[in-house]
Structure 1
Amino acid sequence: MAAKRIYAFGGGRAEGNKDMKDLLGGKGAGLAEMSNIGIPVPPGFTITTEVCAEYYKAGQKLPKALEPELKAALRKVEALTGKGFGDPSDPLLVSVRSGARASMPGMMDTVLNLGLNDATVAGLAARASNPRFAWDSYRRFVAMFGDVVLGLKPERKEDRDPFEVILDAKKHAHGVKYDKDLPVEALRELVAEFKAEIRRRKGVEFPEAPYEQLLAAIGAVFRSWNNDRAIAYRQLNGIPAEWGTAVSVQSMVFGNMGDDSGTGVAFTRNPATGEDEFYGEFLVNAQGEDVVAGIRTPQKISELKERWPEVARQLEDARETLERHYRDMQDIEFTIERGRLYLLQTRSGKRTGLAAVRIAVEMAEERLIGRDEAVLRVEPEALNHLLRPVFDAEAKAAAVKGGRGLAKGLPAGPGAASGKLVFFAQDAAAWHARGEPVILARHETSPEDIRGMAAAEGFLTAFGGMTSHAALVARQMGKVAIVGCGALEFDYHARTMTVETAGGAKVLKEGDWLSIDGTAGEVIEGRLDTRPSEVMAVLVEGGLEPKDAPTYQRFAKLLSWADAARRLRVRANADQPDQARVAVAFGAQGIGLCRTEHMFFGEGKIGPMREMIVAETHEDRRKALAKLLPVQREDFRGLFLEMAGRPVTIRTLDPPLHEFLPHEEQGIAQLARDTGRTVEEIRAQIADLVESNPMLGHRGCRLGISHPEITEMQARAIFEAACDAAEQGVKVEPEVMIPLVASVKELDDQAGVVRRVAEDVFARRGRKVRYLVGTMIEVPRGALTAAEIARTAEFFSFGTNDLTQTTFGLSRDDTGPVLQTYLAKEILPVDPFVSVDQDGVGALMKIAVAGGRATRPGLKLGICGEHGGDPASVEFCHRIGLDYVSCSPYRLPIARLAAAQAALRERAQESKAGDGSAKRARNGKAKPARAAKASPRRARNAAIAVPRARKGAGRRPRARA
């Protein structure tokens, strides 16, 4: 039997449901579900994502087998509406919209009012008794069809949309500000002028046949799956190209029929803050795209009841029904046609990280969802939003007092951002690539701006409301944003922005510094200092008590639930005591990687290190190492004390020696003086140490084998520091990690040095501490021979940065253009240096896990590459049975949440498979939803999940491993 390609909905029933997102896309599944639960939805049908795959397989052609189903589906809609598709007397008009299984707001295309032509526009006008409405719909359709289907675009980035240029000229000629104020004669003229522009620019006639229009629009929406902005969005959000999009064809209802009609977008809770309030906007006498595009600044949803009290009540009922049914905050689109309400979409609403945490915690406290479900609701990366800085209050007040406060708009994306002003998305991406922070300012943003929006620190628009494209993207990306700032005017050709202030017009040029406060909606000239977020102020900076920080309380509560659910332990990559302090504050259960080479760049350390490297005799090298021993010992002691009994993994010296040597004249001269040699001799030795391929050269265990005295000094510093800490009553668990091991004999050599030194120190100090010796699995041979290596190694830690380099044969430092091309062409789905390549690198990791544990069943396994803070990589590590992940201190909340989600998903899969052990009772089971939504039980005195760090804790230097 042939696969079903089209699923109908409307009339109180549907052929699909909310669980069919893979086939119907999010939009189609939502429309089907709303139909099934009695929400008023205009009837229509959804063409499946499988047809999208057929379309591309056939060389971007609709399958012939689709047409009989398409015509049958149209007949069903005609029967439900009582209108005829293409009928001049009572025409059925439809919208054609995209809908992937993952929400991609604005990235793909939509066509409204399809079915209009010179004959049906007359019938529409007569049936509606409103010629102006009919011709307004027609001019909108011609412009959309010309843009989306026929591809009529601006020729240069500085140019405006050609249809907008014609429309603005018409408004100017009639002396009106808004298109809703144009008379019907002007709209008739616009239709003719738009068609003439299509003919002039594209060399084709606008199609009059409705069925031809429909086929062309369906194909265009399928094509939009692979437009530039959709590809960019998929890459930014990890959405596979093979998913494709569904297409929903729905009978039109009209918000532009007059002052008794309108359209809007709303959220069942505030998507910026998470507050439990109905939040959204609407426009009178408008169509839906007007709200999202930000062409007119809309009214708040709270004002709806003043105009249409009965509609407002119905919409509030729909809000309650949908949130209880989906048990999540919903983003809904609605249209009011002559006082009658219709819902056109429901989906899980995009929200800021701040809102995501609040909504999840409060819904769990309302018993709408369980605690485990609350943990699954928050994207791990969203926790980063809660750590971002805000403007220093005094600095901001001084700037405003000094006349630098420019304007106010709508606060669409909370936080603080300063950057250099740019006006085009391409420029934002280019400036960001060369290391410049930018603020992207536009009249309004569009989906084509997605790459520039991703590159910008924040964005600012003159038009648009809290549900505009800019606001939606800001919430999803966690960007600072202000929208609807009406004081702004742009001259894109001159690359200037004029701000109307109380003191007169202020002109800003491209490259000028600008600051935006996305929490207060304030635009400030120049660059402003920032201060820590509420969570950072409690955990790291000090000075703010948890009881005074509701955002922190919710953050801590969510992570406490996550910690109860996860199996994987989390450690931090930290090299200094202050970094360890921050790590403990963020919940670290140990240090997974201390890079000892980072310790040599501190005060008074690099000199002796350089002396050791250029030493000509064994004796001179030992003298230099003797100077380094006490400073390394003190660093290790500080780490042990801060970690207070938690395990600390210390990697012996890894990088090639030439990286420590000076290259500037002053440093070379100083090294010559310190060693009593000539500048020429030092230069010659530096030149001798330079390697053509240092990442595969004299480094790691190879360095320790060539110069065992280096390993001896480091081992002595570790064990003496451990004894010092133990004498202070602190339990110590050092784990000495030998890097770059490819052969068990390499590890045998270095482990022998470490163990010999340990016994010597213990004998001298009359004290022993428990320790482990293990290795970093970071070359393919190490993974492939893991069973042999585990005879000596007591733990493995996967150094996935180098393992990725050596597996792919790609240098992460030199192959940026290669990776950019591969990602753009989707040769690679994601950057393998950001997320573990599970098929290749992951296969080696699995071999190492199996081999290592076959030899040593209790082998401790972890990961310490930067992948340890990537949610997808954390889930992979859980799946293959690692004991812990290690990442930078500031990624620890993300790792904790990702580890919990991995465990919960695994339990859910086991439960589906009938594993009774996976069905054990867990805390926070959801109770049935009540008839009316309960008020949130706010966590005034939430338990503190993690301790605070002492004031002054520093940030970690950029990771090299």
Structure 2
Amino acid sequence: MEKSVLSLEEFGKIADKPEEAYKVVGDKALKLIQAQRRGALIPNGFIVTNTAYQQFMQSGAKELPENVWDEVLSYIKLIEQKTSKRFGLNISPILLSIRSDSNPSLPLMLDSIVNIGLNDVTAIALERLSGNKSYVYSSYCDFIQSFSTVALNIDPHEFDEMFQKFSESRNLSNTNEFNSIDWIDLTRLYKSIVVRHTGKTIPQDPFEQLKHSLKAVYQKMNSKKVQNYIDYHKYKNVNFSLIISQMIPGNITPQSCAGIISTHDPITGELTNSGDYIVDGTLLDIIKHRGHMHPIQNLSRQIPDVKNKLFPIFTSIAEKFGSPVTLEFIYDGQQVYILQVSPLVFSYNGLMRSVVLSKNKGKTLKEGLSFVQIEDITSANLPDLQDVSEQPFASGIASGHGAVVGKAVFCTEECVKRAKNGEKIVLFRKSLQPSDFAAISAASAIVTASGNLYTASTLICRMLRKTTAIGCQINIDEKEQKVTVDDKTVNKDDIVSIDSNGKVYIGEQALGNPGITGDAQQVCEWADSVRGNLKIISQAKSAEEVTKSVENGAEGFAPIALDDLLHDVLPEIALGLLKDHENQEILQKLETSISENLTQILAAAKGLDITVKLLDKPLSVWLPDLTKSVQELSRLKVIKENSGNENPNTSTEVSQSQTETEKSETETESEKTQESEAPEPPKETTEQPKEGEEAPKENTKIEFSEENEQELQRLTEIVDITKKHKESNPLMGVCGIRMNLVTPHLLETSMNAIVSACTNSSIENISILLPNVTLKQEVLKATELVQKALEGKNLHAKIGAELGTPRGCLVTKELAEVCDFLTIDYNKLGMILYGMCTADLESFIPQYEKLNIFKDPSKNFDKEAAYDLIKKAINEATQTKNDLEFYIYGDSLSSDVAPLLCEAGVTKIMSKPEDVVLTKFAAALHILKTQQ
């Protein structure tokens, strides 16, 4: 059985194998060990592994397994031996912290409890040993708050509000102005919060504190806050562990300090040491923005010993990780301890600038882009405010990019609710906690009254690339739901605008056009240079989308589906062709519509390659809804049957007769197709006249007009045709290439229109995509018809097959022999692999997602079965023809799927018009990461 607890020395033996290490520990622990090997001093401690967490969960997640508790106690004894201090005794007491850890990292989401072991007795002992009451009781306050919020589920905002009110009552601007009496009084107030909520005092037994803390921290790993973060980032498997270590005080002497230092300025991106520290304070004072901060550059003057010990270690650690990092450190008056090493979280502007600077200073493109994510480029393409002439209402620290115009909201719960309904919400708060993650992620923009570069709210907003103004000089009244600056006030639901630089304006300001500019444009151009022959194409559905794609840098268009171009005319054309496949008038209308629409597409494409997909959907799906047609037909029949009779004062009899007629007309329609809507139940109330008709008068005769007769005949014909040709499943049956082959006039007309459009546009090369192919013989026959249409024309066509079924993917070796290119329609393939269709999803997917079985397959790429099938299809096709073009398209293929498609071997990646830049960047990142 794997050990539940590891000393730092034991863990060091497996730290060289990250894959093995990450199975039992988290990201914090691994980075700390790596820092230690570079000379960093880290607090004495040990790791409670993921094995222990799994045991806790398997035992019901209520009590700590005895074997885990026993191991924890034995490893505490090792700390006692190293420090000559004792946990739980009033002689040289040692205080402990529990910090949650995970892989992948969940920054700021996991809970910690500090100063475990402090009670009324050990406080007196520490006071005697340190001679510093302020240190002891500020530490006691931190223990009470961290223990109460994690183990007792008391809202952290209660303690923050108490701290704020207490500070204001004594005119104290920050913790450095507190004296020992202030801290003792605040400790009593914090204790009173615990008694008010629980009816009990804070636990005094250090071992009870420790056991309760371990259990609570484990339970919080399944909190809503953590799950929201995991869901937001779509993490599948998360391993949890704990780091238990000796508390190192940064507030024990006037020369002790705590601080955060980064390799770059997170706002400007400049390669210069940046950060804050607090003298005689703690890291919590920085994170909560409650102490007097100093810029890191002042260390050399204020506490030179820290500078001399910290900077060489920091430089060595930065070299080890090779990317921008942030260190949290504490100086106890003698030694500098490193508590955490983490990736630096830039603002949007800082990130882009840092990449440009690193490249200009000689770093490789791979090194420069190693810490850029696809989501960063998403922000780059957002619009900013345009031509703002007025002075801002407020300004603060900016995090993301892109302006936001939205309504002011002051309640986190209301923010989440209204954002889910599609509203643009600007959340105003005095401060924000990690527990507010749901509101932070839901809001379009964030404005706070407090905060600095390293407060929790700032870091979370930067991680989520939110538009922000953090730490504004504003007065927020959350109860009255208003914010004031001088004589100006913003109330709930007022419109406000925030720009990319953290400036807040009252009212709606104009937005500029989206577009990537400045440093971001340079970064994208560099990334674009490594894609080689891999092309990013767009699946546009109109000339407008083609234009947008061209502006975003698309390198071609595929497929331009004829189905998408003919929405307005296909219902009439479908009815006419199903009635008579050789109806020349209808075929001419089809040809004209295709030619006109395609000519517009070709003009907008500006000479880029275009692939046109022949008509794909069954003609029957364009017919009027059968149920509605039958209902209207039944109504007319009832009127005709009663023609000449006196009209009763109600239409109950007519409605009953109509209901019986509808039943007889539709009794064979036991199942609706996916394209149908559910019929309304028969109405038992008085039938209302149609718009434009007069209500029937009492004792008047029912008349059946000539127009009624014509409509009756038309509907009779529609119902007959619909019943005859209705598909039970539009994904199967007479669709795709089958429909074109069994209705050759359809294929011939489509090709004539394509030739006409190309001729009108002076296009000499086009690609024709045969939809939903499953057989080599289908390609051969369709190719004959295509080539026949091209005879004598100055137009060359490449012919490719679209694969939308497992069989199609399994015979690519044969299809490659007769095709110039192959594509996969993932919309079709994904549904068939799961044995479902889009119309079915609403009936069970919400429940499946709640049960955590799987997510909506129409929006999420199947990285298992579908990916394996696609990879096999590409491999077999390219074995037959190594220069064969192969690409995939589908609604769920977002830019984050691009790396997978690159691995599978595609030569082109399809993108939505608005995502072209993102897809290009995602593909480039993958290529860079896989380069040797």
The bucket for the TM-score relative to the shorter chain is: 0.7 to 0.9
User: Corresponding residue for 2:799?
Assistant: 772
Counterpart of 2:646 in structure 1 is none
Does 2:452 match 1:470? no
Larger Rg, first or second structure (1 or 2): 2
Change (3 A) 1:901 1:685: farther
CA distance in 1, matches of 2:909, 2:283: 46
Give the structure 2 partner of residue 444 of structure 1: 431
Which of residues 284, 298, 301 in structure 2 aligns to 1:289?
284
Once residues 346 and 845 of structure 2 are traced to their aligned partners in structure 1, the CA distance between those partners, rounded to angstroms, is 30
Task: Name the CA distance, whole Å, in 2 between partners of 1:810 and 1:273.
Answer: 50
Secondary structure in 2 aligned to 1:122? helix
- Residues in 2 aligned to 1:683 and 1:362: alpha-carbon distance in whole angstroms: 70
Structure 2, gaps ≥5 residues long: 633-690, 693-706
The 1:424–1:9 alpha-carbon spacing in structure 2 relative to 1, beyond 3 Å, is farther
Superposed CA offset, 1:599-654 (max 9, x none): 346xxxx3x555434546523312322431430341353266430xx463535354
Q: What does residue 494 of structure 2 align with?
A: 512
Report the residue type matching 1:516 in the other structure: I
How far did 1:523 drift? 0.8
SS of 2:145's partner is helix
**Which residue pairs with 1:391 in the alignment?**
385
2:788 alignment partner in structure 1:
759
Match of 1:250 among 241, 245, 269: 245
- Deviation sequence 1:241-294 (CA, Å, 0-9, x none): 3x3222112221223346544433332113344222323333444322232234
Shift of 1:655: 7.7
2:516 match: secondary structure: helix
| Aligned-partner residue type, residue 799 of structure 1 | D
**Taking structure 1 as reference, are residues 353 and 890 closer, same or farther at Cα in structure 2, changes over 3 Å only?**
farther
Query: Which of 531, 538, 543 is residue 563 of structure 1 equivalent to?
Result: 531
Quote how far apart the aligned CAs of 1:134 are: 0.6
Q: Is the Cα contact below 8 Å between 2:289 and 2:450 reproduced in 1?
A: yes
Instruction: Give CA-to-partner distance per residue, 1:177-196, whole Å, 9 cap, x none.
Output: 55655554454454455445
Letter in 1 for 2:215: G
| 1:895 match | 919
Q: Which residue is equivalent to 1:49?
A: 50
Whichever residue aligns with residue 737 of structure 1, its letter is: L
Shift in CA distance, 365/7, structure 1 to aligned 2, threshold 3 Å: farther
* CA displacement at 1:573 relative to structure 2: 1.8
Q: Do the aligned partners of residues 486 and 348 (structure 1) sit closer, same or farther apart at CA in structure 2, a change above 3 Å counting?
A: same
Which residue of the partner structure matches residue 99 of structure 2?
A: 97
Label 1:694 to 1:124 Cα distance change in 2 as closer, same or farther (>3 A): same
Answer whether contact 2:595 2:756 (CA < 8 A) is retained.
Answer: no
Identity %: 20
Alpha-carbon contact 1:18-1:33 (below 8 Å) kept: no
Q: 1:430 aligns with which of 406, 417, 437?
A: 417
CA gap 1:329/1:794 in 2 versus in 1, 3 angstroms: same
Q: Is the 8 A contact 1:18 1:32 kept in 2?
A: no
Matches within 5 A, 1:411-810: 411-492=398-479, 494=480, 496-501=481-486, 504-509=487-492, 511-519=493-501, 521-532=502-513, 536=516, 549-560=518-529, 562-564=530-532, 568-576=534-542, 579-580=545-546, 583=549, 586-600=552-566, 606=568, 608-609=569-570, 611-615=572-576, 618-638=583-603, 641-643=606-608, 646=609, 648-654=611-617, 696=731, 700-701=736-737, 704=740, 708-723=744-759, 728=762, 732=765, 734-741=766-773, 747-748=778-779, 752=781, 755-763=784-792, 765=793, 767-775=794-802, 777-783=803-809, 794-809=820-835
2:79 match: secondary structure: helix
Cα separation, 2, equivalents of 1:378 and 1:170: 43
Amino acid at match of 2:889: C
Letter of the 2:491 partner, please give it: L
Which one of 137, 140, 153 corresponds to residue 138 of structure 1?
A: 140
Shift of 1:754: 6.0
Residue of structure 1 equivalent to 2:886: 861
> Compared with structure 1, are the counterparts of its residues 453 and 824 closer, same or farther at alpha carbon in structure 2 (3 Å cutoff)?
farther
User: Does the Cα contact within 8 Å between 1:270 and 1:276 map onto a contact in 2?
Assistant: yes
> What secondary structure is seen at the aligned counterpart in 1 of 2:453?
coil
Map 1:20-419 to 2 at 5 A. 20-60=21-61, 61-67=63-69, 69-153=71-155, 161-168=157-164, 170-171=166-167, 174=170, 176=172, 178=174, 181-185=177-181, 187-202=183-198, 206-241=202-237, 243-257=238-252, 259-295=254-290, 298-305=293-300, 307-312=302-307, 314-338=309-333, 341-352=336-347, 354-367=349-362, 370-392=364-386, 394=387, 396-397=388-389, 400=390, 405-419=392-406
TM-score, structure 2 as length reference: 0.81
Pair 512,738 (structure 1): closer, same or farther in 2 beyond 3 Å: farther
Q: Deviations over 1:428-469 (max 9, x none)?
A: 333233222222222222222222322222211111112222
Q: Following the alignment from structure 2 to structure 1, what is the Cα–Cα distance between the partners of residues 198 and 728?
A: 54
Partner amino acid, structure 2, of 1:712: E
Q: For 2:900 and 2:858, how far apart are their aligned partners in 1?
A: 15
Distance across 2 between alignment mates of 1:87 and 1:685: 94
Secondary structure of 1:59 counterpart:
coil
For 2:443 and 2:898, the matched residues in 1 are separated by 28
SS at match of 2:418: helix
Q: CA deviation at 1:138?
A: 0.8
Change (3 A) 1:588 1:143: same
Look up the match of 2:907: 883
How far off its partner does 1:353 sit? 5.1
2-structure distance, mates of 1:110, 1:907 = 39
Separation of aligned partners in 2, 1:654 and 1:488: 59
How many Å apart are 1:112 and its aligned residue?
A: 1.0
Q: Which moved more, 1:260-269 or 1:811-820?
A: 811-820
How far residue 29 of structure 1 moved from its aligned partner, in angstroms, is 1.3
Distance 1:817 1:434, change over 3 A: farther
Which segment drifts farther, 262-271 or 163-172? 163-172
Contact 2:249 2:332 in 1 (8 A): yes
Q: Secondary structure at the match of 1:135?
A: helix
Residue 699 of structure 1: how far off its partner (Å): 5.5
How far did 1:769 drift? Answer: 0.9
Distance 2:327 2:716 in 1: 70
Separation in 1 of the partners of 2:261 and 2:714? Answer: 69
For structure 1, list consecutive stretches of 5 or more residues without a partner in the other structure: 154-159, 538-548, 670-674, 909-961
Aligned-partner Cα distance in 2 for 1:178–1:630: 73
Structure 1 residue identity aligned to 2:753: A
How big is each residue's C-alpha offset from its partner over 1:907-941, in whole Å with a ceiling of 9 and x where there is no partner? Answer: 66xxxxxxxxxxxxxxxxxxxxxxxxxxxxxxxxx
Q: Higher RCO, 1 or 2 (CA under 8 Å, sep at least 6)?
A: 1
Deviates more, 1:647-656 or 1:283-292: 647-656
Aligned AA (1:884):
K
Deviation at 1:225, TM superposition (A): 2.2
The change in CA–CA distance for 1:755 and 1:361 in structure 2 (over 3 A counts) is farther
CA distance in 1, matches of 2:451, 2:856: 34
Asked whether the 8 Å contact 2:560–2:610 carries over to 1, the reply is: no
Is contact 1:225–1:244 with CA below 8 Å preserved after alignment?
A: no
> Partner letter of residue 57 of structure 1?
Q
